[in-house]
Amino acid sequence: MKLNGKTAIITGGGRDIGAAVARKFASEGANLAISYFESSKGADAVVAEIEGAGGKAIAVQADLNTQAGVDKLVDAAVDAFGAVDVLVNNAGGLIARKTIAEMELSHWEAVMTLNVTSTFMMTKACLPHMSGGAIVNLASQAGRDGGGPGAVAYATAKGAVMTMTRGLAKELGPDIRVNALCPGMIDTDFHNIHTPDAGRRGFEANAPLKRQGHVDDAANFVLFLACDDSAFVTGANYDLNGGMLMS
């Protein structure tokens, strides 16, 4: 029970990596507040599963592109559980693949807001309610290598998250540790939408571990960064890509 009695906020916790992290945290004793943007179906299912196993969780509809949405989520978590011990900034996305030549300023700004500004707002909103604990940001392999075709905006945003992680670790220590995970090819809806199947098969053929990652691979790593097992780790950006990129 590595998070027994702790309260964690997981943004985008209704599917894929976020949902896997929520289930993992609950199994380790955490109280969960998870956000969703549009459909409540996935988040409600995660909450029902956690509660069915004897845990405590709430799902909160929140647009984390806005200060009002951020405040709604944090306030709901504090009202339900009293404080915040762990923040997992998981919400984000590529939105669409666009080259610089075809990219509108509005697309660039939307990607930055979704991935970078939301992480800033969530972190700032949680700090008054954190006396210690950990923040785990979800960056990306794209922040290391520039991403695939049409992903310049997304890769730039995730690179900014990685740098923000380092800066926050210096600013918030010693009480709060801040680290990030940089996933590569994880079998999620993100890649179902944005990555052709041939690209995924090519990854499997070329990666040293010869498979795509599973959401539980990510959840296990996030748990490590959130609990005292990583008590002397802060400001780090960890690769999770089956050996496809070694930094």
* Residues identified as active-site: 154
Determine contact, residues 96/70, Cβ cutoff 8 Å.
Answer: no
In degrees and rounded to multiples of 5, residue 87 shows phi and psi of -120, 125
What is the identity of the amino acid at 128? P
Give me the sheet containing 31-36, strands edge to edge: 57-61, 31-36, 7-10, 86-89, 133-138, 176-183, 237-240
**If we measure between CA atoms, which residue out of 66, 44, 73 comes closest to residue 57?**
44
Q: Sign of the C-alpha dihedral, residues 70, 74, 76, 79?
A: negative
Question: CB–CB of 84/75 below 8 Å?
Answer: no
Terminal Cα distance for the chain, rounded: 32
Type of residue numbered 208? P
Calculate the CA 51 to chain-centre distance.
Answer: 22
Are 181 and 240 in contact, with CB atoms under 8 Å apart? yes
